[in-house]
Structure 1
């Protein structure tokens, strides 16, 4: 199985397990992602999702080029493949719970797109990042290009896309492509998992609205803000603050 979902306490792990092919994604794998995301979304025990390789030392080399070459003359396959990639990326970027990409090793092309679609990117010091369609005469999808521009700005995005160069973890951190260099993702995931799930989900939803172009509150966002003051998590959070203890959010 090239992809699987595992759970450890409140942390769900979406594991890529195709190390013999440098975790290159086939069409079947792109198609499987939305199904696993839905499973993780429905699991009430999962508060945070990490996307990572099942094997250390590699994250994802992108799309499976051998599969692409075998089907390059088949327009129906190409259309289905593009649709599968677009849906996987769209659903991951809008997954309702916090999602962390833990990158250890090369994160290239479509693999970098997967990391971009997560909320936070943590990488080990040996990781490298690149987006390489200009090496193949291809064009990066607009949705994924926007995710990149939202993170690093248009100038750095164009530098990456035009040059297809691999960036070190230090360089990725400097330009804002990743948020943290660390050898494991669990401390951050556990910290987020201990917070109010209501807060983190609604904050994520608000950030997505902003990234999609909303600049002012509407009736829905005002309702979410006001309604939180009557919620169970607010009661628990304020009680814990007064009692000088850690909150126990349900």
Structure 2
């Protein structure tokens, strides 16, 4: 595990923590580069159902560690190589079929906000604040992350974020759809929501998450993979259990991992 990241398991929930609180959890090159391996570990572990991303201390993340830019992004080739590593992390998170939840306190800015947008869900403390600031650095935001942002909050709000570089508070983030909810008891809210996700059919969750990902990537019609996902669900253990539980008027007891 890269320095500045902490990974923990609690039952079916994994947590990846940005752990540089003295630097507002600024994300180093090595931290970006380690994220795809964490994603692979969670996706490949049948005991894990959800990945939570959060920050140690007062902040989620204030963004990429700009102190590295002088050495790693001082040339066009260096900047392209750095951006490829960042895009790899974002692509890995966005491509997960197991759900991802960003638990956000304090600063969620720049690369930190980029990471949160790549997650499936975002829950924030009332004191959180959000912004994406490439216009303050002379950087043009990459296509994939721009597409994710536009898909999430629409072009008007995306333009406000990217072109102005201004920050917004958690209430405004909730209003524009950047976060799912704002909670005074963030830990409990996220714990209850992840428990809900863990109680649902994992075949349904992962199948639907894959289909949503394909839609976001531009597919407008079904394909062989989508039909195979749906056919497998119909013949799966979870479908039989879900129907039986509904008819018996009891909560389902899904067992498929």
TM-score (norm 2): 0.93
CA distance in structure 2 between the aligned counterparts of 1:217 and 1:77, rounded to whole angstroms? 40
> How far 1:10 sits from its partner (Å)?
1.1
Residue in structure 2 matched with residue 221 of structure 1 by the alignment:
226
> How far 1:188 sits from its partner (Å)?
0.8
> How far 1:5 sits from its partner (Å)?
1.8
Please say if residues 92 and 117 of structure 1, whose CA atoms lie closer than 8 Å, have aligned partners that are also in contact. Answer: yes
One of 8, 11, 27 as aligned partner of 1:9: 11
In the TM superposition, 1:200-239 aligns within 5 A as 200-239=205-244
Q: 1:64 aligned to 2:65?
A: yes
Please say if residues 4 and 36 of structure 1, whose CA atoms lie closer than 8 Å, have aligned partners that are also in contact. Answer: no
CA distance in structure 1 between the aligned counterparts of 2:151 and 2:172, rounded to whole angstroms? 17
> How many equivalent pairs are there?
249
Deviations 1:58-110 (A, max 9, x none): 00011101111244434554333111101001111001201111111110001
SS of the aligned residue for 2:47 comes to coil
CA distance in structure 1 between the aligned counterparts of 2:80 and 2:224, rounded to whole angstroms? 39
Please say if residues 51 and 101 of structure 2, whose CA atoms lie closer than 8 Å, have aligned partners that are also in contact. Answer: yes
> How far 1:29 sits from its partner (Å)?
0.5
Q: Pairwise CA RMSD of aligned residues?
A: 1.3
Q: 1:94 aligned to 2:95?
A: yes
> How far 1:179 sits from its partner (Å)?
1.0
CA distance in structure 1 between the aligned counterparts of 2:80 and 2:159, rounded to whole angstroms? 26
One of 28, 31, 34 as aligned partner of 1:32: 34
Residue in structure 1 matched with residue 203 of structure 2 by the alignment:
198
Q: 1:109 aligned to 2:114?
A: no
CA distance in structure 2 between the aligned counterparts of 1:53 and 1:135, rounded to whole angstroms? 24
One of 237, 242, 246 as aligned partner of 1:241: 246
Where structure 1 has 5 or more consecutive residues not aligned to the other structure, the ranges are none
> How far 1:218 sits from its partner (Å)?
2.1
> How far 1:204 sits from its partner (Å)?
0.4
Residue in structure 2 matched with residue 163 of structure 1 by the alignment:
164
Deviations 1:4-52 (A, max 9, x none): 2211111111111111111111111111101111111111111111111
Please say if residues 72 and 82 of structure 2, whose CA atoms lie closer than 8 Å, have aligned partners that are also in contact. Answer: no
> How far 1:150 sits from its partner (Å)?
0.3
Residue in structure 1 matched with residue 181 of structure 2 by the alignment:
180
Report runs of 4+ in structure 1 exceeding 4 Å deviation: none
Deviations 1:127-180 (A, max 9, x none): 000001111111111111111000111111001111111111110111111111
